[in-house]
Structure 1
Amino acid sequence: MQYELIAKRYIKPLMEVCDQSSLENLAELLGNVAKAYDDQKFIAIMNSTDVTANAKCQLVLDMVAPANSSEINNLVKLLAENGRLLLIPVLATELKRSIAISKRMYKGRIYSNTVVDQASVDLIARDLGTKTGTTIALDYVASDYDGIRVEVDDLNVEINFSKSRLNAQLIEHILKAI
């Protein structure tokens, strides 16, 4: 959570200065650089006290050189100055999230222990998007949840339909009627 807050401080000015296509290109580029952080050797170099900050900065600058972008170069240099090059994967994630929010496009998941076909997933996504005034893409995730649960984190939306809860409410309703 702490890293997300720091990342947002870097992202806010980028969102104000860059146009939409530049932001999307930047997000793609940062995402590609973030993949390098999955490599343990790369992490070892970035965490090493034997490697100078300038060498670490140059390593990342070499990775983003094909983009030929002064914005990304300045961002990398700023991160290096503040000792925050390890923040790049969080920056990539937060930038993608900020772009999605600005475009009102969100991603979510459907959890269920029964297979939900793609047509149903698309229908739920379309209907939920209509209700919230957004565009939502949902992915099906197999789980042991007894029913169906839809989550869209960035919208703070969670919808549950549980078979056990439905049965309990039905029994309660019948007992009240008797």
Structure 2
Amino acid sequence: MSHQAQPTQAQEPETPHLDFQGTTPYEDYVQADVLTHLQHTLSDDPGEMVFLVTTQVMELWFTVIVHEWETAAKALRSDDIPVAVAALKRSVRQLEALNASWRPLGQLTPAQFNSYRSALGEGSGFQSAMYRRMEFLLGEKSASMLVPHRGATRVHAELEKALHEPSLYDEVLRLLARRG
């Protein structure tokens, strides 16, 4: 028995809405215009842009991971283990993405990196406030690590708060103590 193709009625594709008053809802939410204009290189070296964007992406991943670990700590405080586990599982994938962020820099030779490194002066990824917050959340806390951030009032206050709050590790220990 042969099946004859049934004629299909062509449906007109839905026309996307293109005329917005002001910016698009996407731009309002993501703020892509802000993100894509944060890159201000300090040298004329073409390799500096990939370094700058890569480190900015890593800072964003640090922010997401801090959010997940703070979510997990809060959930553990209220004995909500499923929420804590879900946040920690998400953070594993985010850590994988963070590690993958290094790949674009892997193509740079030491000579290429050194061609713009001097323009960064004393700048170093070890000065990252979000990386410091990740350390504090894991229980690696030292008040001396606040010193480099004294000049950034909001950042310093956030780090000082994180320094004095229980770490994710502390919350796990507290949960275990409550559960005997």
TM-score normalised by structure 1 residue count: 0.22
Higher relative contact order (CA 8 A, sep 6+): 2
Larger Rg: 2
Query: Which has a greater percent of strand?
Result: 1
